[in-house]
Structure 1
Amino acid sequence: MTRTFTRRAALATGTAVLGTFVLGRSRAVAQSSDILKIGFISPISGPLAGFGQTDGYVLDQARTALAGGVTINGTAYGVELLDRDTQSDPARAGQLARDLINNDAVDLMVAVSTPETINPVSDACEAAGVPCISTVMPWEAWYFGRGAVSGEESPFKYTYHFGFGVDEFYQAYISQWDLVETNKRVGVMYPNDADGNAIRAVLAPKLVEAGYEVIDPGAYETGTTDFSSQIATFREAGIEIFNTFPIPPDFAAFWRQAAQQGLHRQVKIVQLAKTGLFPADIEALGGLGNNMASAAYWHRDFPYSSPTTGLTGAALCDGYEATTGNQWTQQLGASLSAIDVAMAALSAASDPKDREAVAAVLPTLKADTIGGTVDFTAGPVKNVAHGPIIGTQWQAAEGGDFQFDYVITENATDMSVPVIGELRAYNA
């Protein structure tokens, strides 16, 4: 049985109803058997900290919404969100997951952002028989990177992932790059990691089929400090599009060297992924950050709302900026979407305290979220639900409190999302 969350105001009880899931406002739950425990693991510190910067605020909103407990299928429960910081360390991510499973007895796990977090957490949950929801990494790096084989039955029972894949990047990039006239020579710099290897294997050939010439100097190791050889290759080839999937410190080092050696003057589109997602990544580059092209797995202008909190994208971002003084980031909606899916899974289960019962509903789960509908029945493979990637660009703000506006420039993977502005050439 599947359920899709719908939210309506209750008339006299001060509650909101989410399918059979009722948010309470005054009930106290004391017994541990009446408490639903959700682990939430993300990188709050370390080189991937941009992905976790907003998670504290998101968790505060969810905890406030769930503070009075919930009723599922007529039974009342309290809800605890147990968050942990991986410090951007994969080994620590796996250990945190095992601690939450063995010592805190979580009923369901949420893992958010990058293979360095998601894959070890997913592996720990699969081994322990704990349902796990994850998002924000290419699904191919999650699925095949953990041992699944193309054309064979999925080896996973408890772990499920939603969001973008290489095909979404391809659609967004082709749509985005057609907005600026170029010679279609694309310099790519993909790291030797789960993201980079998946992108190189699948995206690069698709770009070639679409008529682009791909110049790839080969995989580089994370933490590289000298990119002179790659820059020389790109300059000699006359690339006018550059695409990369690095961690933020690596790209910052590369692009400063690229500017010193003149590469930035010939490139018309700088298309970033994994870095360039958040304001701090771009602001750290100073003037070199203007007109960097990015991609959004969520944006404040997405026309959806969160069943868990009732917040729209605009309300979530406005609240974050008012509370913290920092500019909103796309991770706000992504992390809240994961919590929306987690609550939908618990609500759909015959017994949310039974891990097997929760796992049993995941293959047919369809959940409304602040990022849109997550539908595990639609594939592209079992255990995975598609999600969009929207073409965006960091453009110098004309007034306001922040240096850059994050502008939607194309919407090929979700045409319900409004296009806000035009893509500008980087070297214009």
Structure 2
Amino acid sequence: MDKTLDLHAEHPDLRRRDFLKSAAQLTAAVSATALPGFSMARSPDQTIKIGFIVPLSGIRASFGASTNFSIDFVRKYLKDGIEIAGKKYDVEIIVKDNQSSPSRSLQVGNELILNDKPDIILVSDAEGATAIANLADARGIPQVSCGGPWQGWVAQRHYDPKKGFPFTFHFFWGADELGRTYASLWDNLPTNKKVGTLYADDDGGRAMSDPQHGFPPAFKAAGYEVIDTGLFQLNTDDFSTQIARFKAAGVEIVAGHTFENHLATFWNQAMQAGFRPKICTIAAGLLFPTSVSNLGSHGNGMSTEVWWTPTFPFKSSLTGQSAQQIADAYTAATGNQWTQPLGYDHALLEVGIAALKASGNPKNATAVRDAIARMTLDTVVGKVDFQHSPLKNIGVTHIVAGQWQKADAGKFKFDLKVVGNSSNPAVPLSGKLEPLAFG
């Protein structure tokens, strides 16, 4: 939590009196200078409030690294408000850091719902969305989320695909599709088809390791033998047991779901132990440029899923920008290489604002909820379709496979090339899978 210097911390009554006095003086000053008929701000019923929950800190902070750029950009885009059914509304976006913690997600979700009273809640973190989904449903607040396989979002919520949920929605790809995408990618290189898997013990890891709907059935159906080491705790810093099993089994492919710190630790220990697989394809832990740079010379050739890249042939329904233009704008503003959540953050805002517009009355929660349920929207990540989905309240998007390869030119060391598009042929290939090279 942020720490703020408070000179009156030991005297709460004095602090409260000073605050009330200052507030009264400010109100009087504003009243004295205001012109007749001039309003300092629109009334609450003329301001749309969008709550946005994101992991700006904690273990998933990399997933929120580009979020402030996306939100600031949309704030500027909507600075003059939006018109809905002939009425003009200001738009306020209230950002809450869930610190990569489900308990913190619940806390900030409560703060939003009880204090800020948002008209819609957007969550770019699937695990955080799961933590507050029941609260949003109970309070009748429309919520849309992304940022994790849809199986993880429903796993602990007694989901019935025919009934769905009252007010909560999610759009993202599925762990089953990811497993098929990985297997299709590996078919491009000769291996002994032995895959060693490791999974972080969180919603994403549990979804991907699921024996019925995750990676295992997809890998086995494609003819790969799975050496499964199960789930590891998020505070794990010793992977010697997993590495020993992989070496003993003759594993040539490593796959699974980890975060950046886990992958760096695992890979360093693998190198020290003399374990040299031909392919390493990791969900989450290899999404970002920092994921690869953390590995130094061993980063070249790492592979992962691709949620979104500048080469996606889609445009923003909100601004009309192409994927490439959004990525270029991010780099120009921050000096940083684009990241995959950049596209989904933008798409999440697209979906939220489109629902508010389509509702006809953004202050009516049921109308906003119904607008989401009937939505079919072309976004910068592709089509988000709740209306025609066989899974109620879920819009299934699609992915491709990528490999980090040394950049041909430019300021950044590695580029994420699209090297497999079996699940999403609309996205063009930009390279081919190469075996890992060990210097």
TM-score between both structures, scaled by the size of structure 1? 0.89
Q: Say which of 181, 184, 192 aligns to 2:193.
A: 184
Q: CA deviation at 1:281?
A: 1.2
Matched AA of 1:280: T
Give the Cα–Cα distance (whole angstroms) in 1 for the partners of residues 40 and 176 of structure 2. Answer: 47
Which residue of 2 is the match for residue 339 of structure 1?
349
1:197-247 per-residue CA deviation (whole Å, 9 max, x = no partner) reads 221112202211221100002221111111111000001111111102012
Q: CA deviation at 1:29?
A: 6.0
1:241 to 2:250 alignment: no
1:169 to 2:181 alignment: no
Give the Cα–Cα distance (whole angstroms) in 1 for the partners of residues 99 and 373 of structure 2. Answer: 31
Asked whether the equivalents of residues 305 and 401 of structure 2 are also in contact (C-alpha less than 8 Å), the reply is yes
1:138 to 2:149 alignment: yes
1:124 to 2:101 alignment: no
Q: CA deviation at 1:380?
A: 4.1
Matched AA of 1:220: F
Which residue of 1 is the match for residue 98 of structure 2?
86
Which residue of 2 is the match for residue 8 of structure 1?
none
Which residue of 1 is the match for residue 364 of structure 2?
354
Q: Say which of 414, 422, 433 aligns to 1:423.
A: 433
1:228-286 per-residue CA deviation (whole Å, 9 max, x = no partner) reads 110000011111111020122122111111111111x2x11100101110101111111
Identify unmatched segments of 5+ residues in structure 2. Answer: 1-38
Q: How many aligned residue pairs are there?
A: 397
Matched AA of 1:310: G
Which residue of 2 is the match for residue 102 of structure 1?
114
**Secondary structure in 2 aligned to 1:331?**
helix
Q: Say which of 312, 325, 349 aligns to 1:315.
A: 325
**Secondary structure in 2 aligned to 1:351?**
coil
**Secondary structure in 1 aligned to 2:336?**
coil
The within-5 A match list for 1:189-338 is 189-201=198-210, 202=213, 203-263=215-275, 265=276, 267-338=277-348
**Secondary structure in 2 aligned to 1:157?**
coil
Asked whether the equivalents of residues 183 and 218 of structure 2 are also in contact (C-alpha less than 8 Å), the reply is no
1:403 to 2:413 alignment: yes
Asked whether the equivalents of residues 256 and 281 of structure 2 are also in contact (C-alpha less than 8 Å), the reply is yes
Q: Segments of 4+ in structure 1 off by > 4 A?
A: none
TM-score between both structures, scaled by the size of structure 2? 0.87
Q: Which has the higher contact order (CA 8 A, sep 6+)?
A: 1
RMSD: 1.6
Q: Say which of 77, 85, 92 aligns to 1:65.
A: 77
1:109-145 per-residue CA deviation (whole Å, 9 max, x = no partner) reads 0000342x22113233122211011111010010123
Give the Cα–Cα distance (whole angstroms) in 2 for the partners of residues 154 and 258 of structure 1. Answer: 46
Q: CA deviation at 1:288?
A: 1.4
Asked whether the equivalents of residues 40 and 110 of structure 1 are also in contact (C-alpha less than 8 Å), the reply is yes
Matched AA of 1:136: G
Residues 372 and 155 (structure 1 numbering): CA distance in 2 closer, same or farther, change over 3 Å? closer
The within-5 A match list for 1:4-23 is none
Give the Cα–Cα distance (whole angstroms) in 1 for the partners of residues 324 and 164 of structure 2. Answer: 39
1:328-351 per-residue CA deviation (whole Å, 9 max, x = no partner) reads 111111100000010111111131
1:319-369 per-residue CA deviation (whole Å, 9 max, x = no partner) reads 111111111111111100000010111111131111111112222211121
1:368-417 per-residue CA deviation (whole Å, 9 max, x = no partner) reads 21111100123241110111121001111233101111111111222111
Q: Say which of 356, 367, 387 aligns to 2:397.
A: 387
Give the Cα–Cα distance (whole angstroms) in 2 for the partners of residues 380 and 248 of structure 1. Answer: 34
Residues 29 and 373 (structure 1 numbering): CA distance in 2 closer, same or farther, change over 3 Å? farther
Give the Cα–Cα distance (whole angstroms) in 2 for the partners of residues 118 and 286 of structure 1. Answer: 34
1:370 to 2:384 alignment: no
**Secondary structure in 1 aligned to 2:230?**
coil
Q: Which has the larger radius of gyration?
A: 2
Give the Cα–Cα distance (whole angstroms) in 2 for the partners of residues 253 and 421 of structure 1. Answer: 28
Give the Cα–Cα distance (whole angstroms) in 2 for the partners of residues 277 and 147 of structure 1. Answer: 30
